[in-house]
Amino acid sequence: MRIERMMSKAELSRRANLSVLTIDRVEKGFGCRMDTKRKILEALGLSLADRVRVFGEEE
Protein backbone atom coordinates (compact mmCIF):
# COMPACT_ATOMS: atom_id res chain seq x y z
CA MET A 1 0.00 0.00 0.00
CA ARG A 2 2.79 2.39 0.90
CA ILE A 3 4.54 1.85 -2.42
CA GLU A 4 1.27 2.13 -4.38
CA ARG A 5 0.87 5.58 -2.83
CA MET A 6 4.48 6.41 -3.76
CA MET A 7 5.32 7.04 -0.11
CA SER A 8 8.70 6.37 1.47
CA LYS A 9 9.07 4.59 4.80
CA ALA A 10 10.26 7.88 6.26
CA GLU A 11 7.15 9.71 5.06
CA LEU A 12 4.83 7.00 6.38
CA SER A 13 6.63 6.94 9.72
CA ARG A 14 6.32 10.73 9.99
CA ARG A 15 2.62 10.71 9.13
CA ALA A 16 1.91 7.80 11.50
CA ASN A 17 4.14 9.17 14.27
CA LEU A 18 6.07 5.88 14.36
CA SER A 19 9.73 5.08 13.87
CA VAL A 20 11.09 3.96 10.50
CA LEU A 21 12.25 0.80 12.28
CA THR A 22 8.66 0.04 13.30
CA ILE A 23 7.43 0.51 9.73
CA ASP A 24 10.22 -1.75 8.47
CA ARG A 25 9.38 -4.48 11.01
CA VAL A 26 5.65 -4.36 10.17
CA GLU A 27 6.42 -4.61 6.44
CA LYS A 28 8.61 -7.65 7.13
CA GLY A 29 5.67 -9.37 8.82
CA PHE A 30 6.54 -8.95 12.48
CA GLY A 31 3.60 -8.52 14.83
CA CYS A 32 2.54 -5.15 16.18
CA ARG A 33 -0.07 -3.63 18.44
CA MET A 34 -3.52 -2.67 17.22
CA ASP A 35 -2.73 0.99 17.92
CA THR A 36 0.26 0.75 15.55
CA LYS A 37 -1.94 -0.77 12.84
CA ARG A 38 -4.50 2.00 13.34
CA LYS A 39 -1.83 4.70 12.98
CA ILE A 40 -0.49 3.11 9.78
CA LEU A 41 -3.97 2.78 8.26
CA GLU A 42 -4.80 6.41 9.05
CA ALA A 43 -1.45 7.60 7.66
CA LEU A 44 -2.19 5.73 4.43
CA GLY A 45 -5.64 7.32 4.23
CA LEU A 46 -7.43 4.02 4.77
CA SER A 47 -10.24 3.02 7.11
CA LEU A 48 -10.15 0.39 9.83
CA ALA A 49 -12.20 -1.82 7.52
CA ASP A 50 -9.13 -2.09 5.26
CA ARG A 51 -7.00 -3.72 7.98
CA VAL A 52 -7.37 -7.28 6.66
CA ARG A 53 -6.41 -6.18 3.15
CA VAL A 54 -3.30 -4.43 4.50
CA PHE A 55 -2.24 -6.68 7.39
CA GLY A 56 -3.84 -10.02 6.46
CA GLU A 57 -6.10 -12.16 8.59
CA GLU A 58 -6.11 -11.55 12.33
CA GLU A 59 -4.88 -14.30 14.60
Does the residue 29 lie in any domain?
yes
pLDDT grade, residue 58 (50/70/90)?
low
pLDDT grade, residue 1 (50/70/90)?
confident
Does the residue 21 lie in any domain?
yes
Does the residue 31 lie in any domain?
yes
The C-alpha angle 7, 35, 6, rounded to 5 degrees, equals 5
Does the residue 1 lie in any domain?
no
Does the residue 56 lie in any domain?
no
pLDDT greater than 70 at residue 59? no
Residue range 2-47, pLDDT digits in tens? 998 899 999 999 999 999 999 999 999 898 999 999 999 999 999 9
CB 2 within 8 A of CB 12: yes
Residues spanned by the domain of 15: 9-47
What's the number of domains the chain is made of?
Answer: 1
